Structure 1
């Protein structure tokens, strides 16, 4: 039986190495990308993000933790990311993200 998906509060957009932008709105999509489409050698944040996404799908880890680890994995791999948390005034930001499109 398939595991129900978990959606992010806000999507994460990643600029891939070929210049294309991909949007991630759920843990299933993110996990599929991490396991099957990851563009570089896998580092510590990548491995932690995979484990965290699997646990979030089983409701054992908060989705926000998985999202932050995914953002860290993208930065570790040199991928530009956009998305994350919202400030109270509605602006989007993520404290772990420092690369912009």
Structure 2
């Protein structure tokens, strides 16, 4: 299996039952599209599947696959928002400057 590929900015999808789910990587996103997606039709759904597969094979930019997933969510009526990645470090001040 290929190493997972992560989005630079993860996504959180809201479902009609009030639950939310975060998507950080291509494999998780494609697995959801193929196995748990509420609507198995739609132009944007098919495009999202194709673009995620292409990005996993390194044929499509990850950002394009992410955008296609967002469009599929909107097509299905699922609100989606960008979230801060868990690996993002919060700093209260800028990093120290290196002096020569």
TM range (shorter): 0.7 to 0.9
Q: Where is the strand percentage greater, Structure 1 or Structure 2?
A: 1
Aligned residue runs from structure 1 range 6-85, under 5 A: 6-83=5-82
- C-alpha distance in structure 1 between counterparts of 2:46 and 2:71, whole Å: 11
1:19 to partner: Cα distance: 1.2
Specify the SS of the correspondent of 1:50.
helix
- What is the Cα-based RMSD across aligned positions, in Å? 1.1
TM-score (ref. length: structure 1)? 0.78
Q: Higher RCO, 1 or 2 (CA under 8 Å, sep at least 6)?
A: 2
In structure 2, list runs of 5 or more residues that go unmatched. 84-100
* Closer, same or farther: CA 11–36 of 1 in aligned 2, 3 Å: same
Count of equivalent residues: 83
- C-alpha distance in structure 1 between counterparts of 2:28 and 2:12, whole Å: 12
TM-score (ref. length: structure 2)? 0.79
Structure 1 stretches of 4+ moved >2 Å: none
Q: Which has the larger radius of gyration?
A: 2
